[in-house]
Every structure is written in C-alpha cells, then in structure tokens.
C-alpha cells in the first residue's frame, strides 16, 4: 500500500483547482493522472515580510489571519505594527475598546510594538473614550514604540488630548499628530523626555506651547496648525522643515544651521482679521481626513529637484498639492454654459517651451532699472498700512524666517500677493549660498508688476540652478495691467541657472515680461518653460454675470 502524501494548504486556489504552472500527471495512460496542488508561496515568506504586509492592515483584519493555517496562527501576535484607527467607512469590531485591550494583552510578551496608529473618539463613538486612547498609547510606549500616529476628530471641541507624562521614552523616533491639542506641558515633555525623537508631524493641531527644542529632531512638518503667540522651534540638527498655512502666529525658527530643505506657505488672512480674504468662500488648503489611512503627506509641495541624494528632495511630486492649491482658487465647476465660454475657461494646457507661446513678445526690449528697491510696495493689497505692517515684528511671528532658511539647498516660499511676513523679512534678505532649487509664489511680485523682491532673491542666490514661479492673477493685477504698466527690469547674476518654469493663466501677460527679464540676464528662451491653465478673464466674466443674474432674480422676487 503506497504511503500517504501530506498535501500543503493552498490559499490561492479553490477546492479541486490547481495552478497552471504546477499541473502534472502521474504515471498511467488515458490522462487520468492526479493533479498536484500549487505551493503556498505567501506562507513561505519570512516573518519580516509577512509582518510588513500586515502593517497595511487594520489590527482586526491582521488578527483574522490566524485562521488561514498553522503557519499564520500566531503571526499576528508579534506583528510590529498595530493599527486600530476606526474610519468613517470601516466597520470596527463590536465592543471596540474590549477588542483592543484583548488584542494588546494577547500579543507575545516579548514582541515590541514598533508602530501604533490610532484615532481618538468622535461624537458617535460610544465604545471607547479618551482614557482608553491614553491607555493604549501608554501601553505602546512601555513596549518601546518607535512610531506613534494619532488622529483626532475635525470638530474643534473634540480634538484629541494627550497626557504629557505618557511620553517618556528613549525609543520614540516618529510622532504624527492630527487634530490634536498640544499643550505647553506636552511640548516641554517632548523636548526633555524624548531624546531620540527624529520626526514630528503636526496637522490641524492647536499648539498652545511656547517653545519646542530638540537636538535629535531631523524632520518637522506643521500643516494648518493654530499656534500660540511667540511659539518657537529650536532644532540645531533639523534637515527638513515644512510650515504650511499657520494660523494666528508664524512659528519662529532658531538654530537651523544644517537645514537642507525648507518649505513655507503663508496666508495672511489666517493670521489676522485685518487682512482682506483673498477669496472669501474658498478653503484654500485641503484638510486631512479623520482616518488618514494613506499615512502620507497630503500637503506636499509640487517641485522636485533632480538629485542623487534621496534625502535632499523637497517632497514627492505625486501629491499634487500645488495643483489643488491653484485649481481651488481659479477653476470653475462647469466648462460650458449658455454663454458658450468654451473649454478655454478652465482647461489646462501642457507645459511649453516659452518660445512656442511667445507670439512676438520675444522681440520686445526689456529695460533695466536702478538697483533701488521699493520693498514696501504691494502691502496695500491687504488694505493695511505698509509702514504699520513692516514695523510690527511681534504681531504675526515669523521673525528671521529667511535667515533661518539661508543654508538650504531646496527652498519653497509660497504666498499670495502682498503677504506681509515674506515681504517684511525680505528687508534683510540673507545670501542663500547653498541654494540650488527655488520655488516662489505671487508674493514676490506686486500688483504693479514690480519684480524687485524676485530680483533681490536672485541676486542673493549665487549658485541657483532651477527656479519655479507660481503666478496668480486677480482683479487688482488685471486692472493694473489694463492701465498699461511699463514693466521695469533689473540685473542679477545666476551663472548656474539652467531652467525657469512658470505656471500661470493663459491670459497673464506677465509671463512675457518675466521671459524678457531672464533673457536680458543671459538665460536663453529655450530654458524657460510655461504651464498654462484656463483663462482668468473668462472665469471672472462668468462670475460677474452669475452675480448679476442672482441679483436680478432676487430683485424680481
């Protein structure tokens, strides 16, 4: 009697099926051979790879893998990542708090929790509360957690709360907080009791601390956070900083001597009610979800330098943040309506070499001007006294922000026309001796088509190689251009400048003025690229007609 053959479990095939790559026939005629099952290649992988796969799964899904086979029975209990975030579109286990407690207690005693991802309770969460969340964080810290990611609730009254005393760890390296209240005692605790912290990410947080200091921190991300007055960051070993749309106060940077990459995006309307909102109803900066499942940076800048050093990149080009930022300002929902505006109203065109769209402008001369700079011009765009804004260094923060970024190789400075912090700091513009890639927003050009600040930055960037400009048309600029402004040029010496890329609307004539400015300073037109979006004039016309129609309907009713 032939010996019995033990068959391995086949997770990828249904009963009676076999993989086409492993079909075979035993001896005998008539094709009546026996089919051998396919190998379970997934289970053959080492624990480290299977644990990596589990890191993309919710904790309850990872626990369910125990029924797959004997190989998987206890694998989940030593998985280094525990993700217990409850999303709006995911059904968590019943008695959620009890499940998480049992999950943590059932893990292998000697298995560390490398990564903990969790969410604080919302209005409709009855299965757990903030005390549970704090307990789970405390448990992870005791298990030598290296990464903790906490997402709170978007409701300002339901921000996640943390117990500062829980964050005493020599193992914690990455802390990511979203919709969380960050108290002064918490920032002090992080500064003194987490000596190995290397990455801190704050999104939509209420930061009530006055100062954060860390000699170990290397990456700092702050996205649409509300800061207490006089909040500052002192991080002498920081290599990456991103500060996007701070509210109430712009953090003050100190001791950023080794910084490589800096990204700052400011909006004056978030700092003070004195400033006129650029677009009243627009949510200019996207918000992260309360689930934040993708675990990525949703606000990444668009520009990416070509560098062999992967640590020097600005951020991933896949995020498309600037595309969203730009489109939310200017793109309409419809393409056509009864007025038949046509697709040109909001369609993007490809990126062109400037010479392809010059239309005769390349033959015009661009005059030079004296080196005297009027750096206060443009602040009137916000309806405030330029003198008052320039001299008030304590009201909005951001003191010495440009000097703090002076050693970077890659720099992004975005803001609308007349942004006061940027223009104020340009009064004492430092020399960016290491800067190779620079991205600038509309703030560096006034409504009077004044390129003074742009020229100033170029003169202080001697080894600059790539320049990106983001132009934003608005009604004030359009009116100024209609008055027939004669643009004034200037000289700068960027001997290494090899590319300029400009994004603008199809009817923004300033792109031609800029092209001539660069050509007059030695950059060939072939090195200038333009990416154009739909017509500002047509979109504005459509908006005006829509407002008029609404007023007529209101009057008739």
Per-residue DSSP letters for 427-448?
A: GG----TT--EEEE-GGGS-TT
pLDDT classification of 34: cutoffs 50, 70, 90? low
Q: How confident is the model at residue 68 (pLDDT cuts 50, 70, 90)?
A: confident
Which of 470, 440, 473 minimizes the C-alpha distance to 457? Answer: 440
Q: Which value, in Å, is the radius of gyration of the alpha carbons in the chain?
A: 29
For residue 321, pLDDT over 50 is answered with no
CA atoms within 13 A on the CB side of 321: 24
- Which range scores top for mean pLDDT: 54-68, 230-244, 339-353? 230-244
Mean pLDDT of 231-260: 95
Q: Decide: 261 and 240 in contact? Cβ < 8 Å.
A: yes
> Backbone phi, then psi, for 166, in 5-degree steps?
-75, -25
| pLDDT computed for residue 145 by the predictor | 94
CA atoms within 13 A on the CB side of 330: 29
Q: How far apart are the first and last CA of the chain?
A: 96
Average pLDDT, the chain: 76
d(CA 463, CA 369): 23
The secondary element (H helix, E strand) that includes residue 516 is helix 510-520
Query: Does residue 430 surpass a pLDDT of 80?
Result: yes
The more confidently predicted of residues 149 and 554 is: 149
Distances (CA, A) of 363 to 329, 355, 486, 516: 33, 11, 16, 9
> CA torsion sign, 333 to 334 to 335 to 341?
negative
Structure token pair of residue 56: 């993309």
Mean pLDDT of the region 262-268: 93
Q: What are the Cα distances from residue 320, in Å, to 301, 316, 323, 324, 326?
A: 7, 9, 5, 6, 10
**pLDDT score recorded for residue 341:** 44
Lowest mean pLDDT among 94-103, 111-120, 312-321, 406-415: 312-321
Partners of 381 in the beta sheet? none
User: Count of residues for the chain?
Assistant: 557
Q: Which of 257-266, 411-420, 458-467 has the lowest mean pLDDT?
A: 411-420
More confident residue, 263 or 312: 263
**Candidate from 137-146, 180-189, 342-351 with smallest mean pLDDT:** 342-351
- Residue 240 is classified by DSSP as E
Q: Which among 508, 498, 437, 502 has a CA at the least distance from the CA of 477?
A: 508
> Which of 174, 220, 241 is CA-nearest to residue 409?
241
* Position 328 pLDDT exceeds 50: no
Q: Is the pLDDT of residue 486 over 80?
A: no
Q: Which of 205, 201, 231 is nearest to 217 (CA)?
A: 201
According to DSSP, residue 290 is labeled: S
| Ramachandran class of 20: left when φ > 0, alpha when ψ lies in -120 to 50, beta otherwise | alpha
CB 345 within 8 A of CB 332: yes
Whole-number pLDDT of residue 197: 96
Name the band, by pLDDT with cuts 50, 70 and 90, for residue 174.
very high
From the DSSP assignment, how many helices (H) and strands (E) are in the chain?
Answer: 14, 20
Nearest to 311 by CA among 406, 240, 235: 240
Contact yes or no for 150/118 (Cβ under 8 A): yes
Instruction: Fill in the DSSP letter of residue 394.
Output: S
How far is 421 from 267, CA to CA, in rounded Å?
9
In sequence order, the 6+-apart residues with CB closer than 8 A to the CB of 547 are: none
**Range in 304-313, 397-406, 457-466, 532-541 with the lowest mean pLDDT:** 304-313
Residue 343: predicted pLDDT: 52
- The larger pLDDT score, comparing residue 367 to residue 506, is at 506
Poorest-confidence range of 134-138, 433-437, 485-489?
485-489
Q: Tell me the mean pLDDT in the region 268-280.
A: 67
pLDDT band at 266 (very low <50, low <70, confident <90, very high): very high
Q: What pLDDT, on a 0 to 100 scale, did the predictor assign at position 344?
A: 55
Q: In the Cβ-directed half-sphere of 387, how many Cα atoms lie within 13 Å?
A: 0
Sign of CA dihedral 198, 296, 210, 144: negative
The DSSP letter of residue 14 is -
**Residue 228: HSE in the Cβ half-sphere, 13 Å Cα cutoff:** 14
Give the range with max mean pLDDT: 155-169, 350-364, 468-482.
155-169
272 versus 321: the higher-pLDDT residue is 272
Q: Is the pLDDT of residue 178 over 90?
A: yes
H helices of 168-266, in order, are 184-193
Average pLDDT over residues 296-318: 39
pLDDT of residue 188: 93
User: How is residue 148 annotated by DSSP?
Assistant: E
Q: Which residues pair with 222 in a beta bridge?
A: 202, 243
- pLDDT at 169 exceeding the cut of 60: yes
Q: Which two tokens stand for residue 382?
A: 């916000």
Query: In 3D, which of 397, 400, 401, 428 has the Cα closest to residue 413?
Result: 401
Cα–Cα distance between 412 and 439 in angstroms, integer?
5
How does residue 253 score in pLDDT terms, banded at 50, 70 and 90?
very high
| 36-52 average pLDDT score | 79
If phi > 0 it is left, if psi is from -120 to 50 it is alpha, else beta; for residue 372 that is: beta
Token pair for 464: 């600059």
User: Is 495 buried (19+), middle (13-18) or exposed (0-12) by CB count in 10 A?
Assistant: exposed
Please, where are the H alpha helices in 347-396? 354-357, 386-391
> Residue 162: how many CB atoms within 10 A of its CB?
25
Question: Of 8-17, 170-179, 224-233, 331-340, which gets the smallest average pLDDT?
Answer: 8-17
Q: What is the pTM of this model?
A: 0.77
Tokens coding 318: 């896949």
DSSP state of 201: E
Most confident of 259-263, 309-313, 539-543: 259-263
Please provide the DSSP assignment of 473-499 as one string: --HHHHHHHHTT----------TT--E
Confidence band for 394, pLDDT divided at 50, 70 and 90? low
Give residue 297's pLDDT: 35
pLDDT confidence band for 372 (50 / 70 / 90): very low
């Amino acid at each position: 009697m032939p010996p019995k053959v033990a068959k391995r479990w086949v997770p990828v095939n249904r009963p009676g099926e076999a993989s086409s790559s492993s079909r075979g026939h035993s001896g005998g005629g008539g094709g009546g051979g026996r089919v051998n099952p396919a190998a379970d290649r997934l289970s053959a992988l080492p624990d480290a790879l299977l644990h990596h796969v589990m890191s993309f799964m919710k904790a309850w899904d990872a626990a369910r893998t125990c029924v797959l086979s004997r190989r998987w029975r206890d694998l989940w209990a030593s998985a280094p990542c525990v993700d217990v975030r409850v999303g709006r579109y995911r059904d968590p286990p019943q008695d959620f708090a009890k499940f998480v407690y049992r999950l943590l207690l059932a893990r292998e005693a000697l298995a560390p929790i490398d990564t903990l991802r969790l969410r604080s309770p919302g209005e409709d969460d009855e299965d757990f509360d903030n005390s549970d969340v704090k307990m789970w964080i405390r448990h992870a810290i005791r298990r030598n957690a290296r990464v903790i990611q906490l997402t709170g609730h978007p409701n300002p009254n339901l921000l996640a709360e943390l117990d500062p005393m829980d964050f005493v760890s020599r193992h914690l390296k990455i802390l990511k907080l979203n919709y969380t209240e960050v108290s002064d005692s918490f920032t002090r605790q992080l500064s003194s009791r987490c000596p190995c912290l290397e990455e801190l990410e704050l999104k939509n947080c209420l930061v009530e601390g006055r100062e954060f200091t860390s000699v170990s921190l290397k990456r700092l991300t702050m996205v649409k956070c509300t800061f207490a007055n006089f909040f500052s960051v002192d991080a002498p070993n920081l290599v990456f900083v991103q500060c996007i749309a701070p509210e109430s106060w712009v953090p003050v940077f100190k001791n950023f001597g080794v910084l490589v990459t800096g990204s700052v995006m400011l909006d004056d309307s978030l700092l003070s009610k004195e400033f006129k909102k650029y677009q009243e109803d627009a949510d200019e900066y996207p918000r992260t979800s309360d689930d934040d499942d993708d675990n990525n940076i949703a606000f990444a800048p668009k520009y990416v330098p070509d560098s062999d050093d992967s640590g020097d990149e600005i951020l991933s080009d896949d995020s498309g943040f600037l595309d969203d930022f730009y489109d939310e300002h200017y793109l309409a929902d419809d393409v056509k309506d009864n007025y038949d505006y046509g697709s040109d109203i909001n369609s993007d065109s490809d990126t062109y070499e400037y010479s392809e769209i010059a239309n005769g402008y390349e033959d015009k001369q661009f005059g030079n001007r004296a080196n005297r700079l009027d750096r206060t011009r443009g602040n009137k765009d916000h309806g405030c006294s330029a003198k008052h804004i320039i001299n008030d260094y304590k009201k909005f923060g951001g003191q010495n922000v440009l000097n703090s970024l002076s050693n970077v190789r890659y720099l992004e400075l975005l803001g609308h026309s007349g942004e006061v912090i940027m223009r104020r700091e340009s009064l004492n513009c430092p020399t960016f001796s290491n800067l190779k890639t620079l991205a600038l927003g509309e703030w560096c050009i006034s409504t009077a088509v004044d390129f003074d600040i742009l020229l100033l930055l170029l003169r202080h960037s001697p080894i600059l190689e790539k320049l990106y400009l983001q132009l934003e048309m608005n009604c004030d600029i359009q009116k100024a251009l209609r008055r027939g402004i004669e643009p004034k040029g200037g000289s700068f010496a960027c001997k290494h400048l090899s590319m300029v890329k400009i994004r603008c609307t199809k009817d923004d004539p300033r792109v031609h003025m800029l092209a001539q400015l660069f050509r007059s300073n030695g950059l060939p037109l072939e090195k200038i690229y333009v990416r154009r979006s739909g017509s500002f004039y047509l979109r504005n016309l459509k908006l005006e007609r829509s407002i008029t129609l609404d007023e007529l309907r209101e009057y008739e009713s």
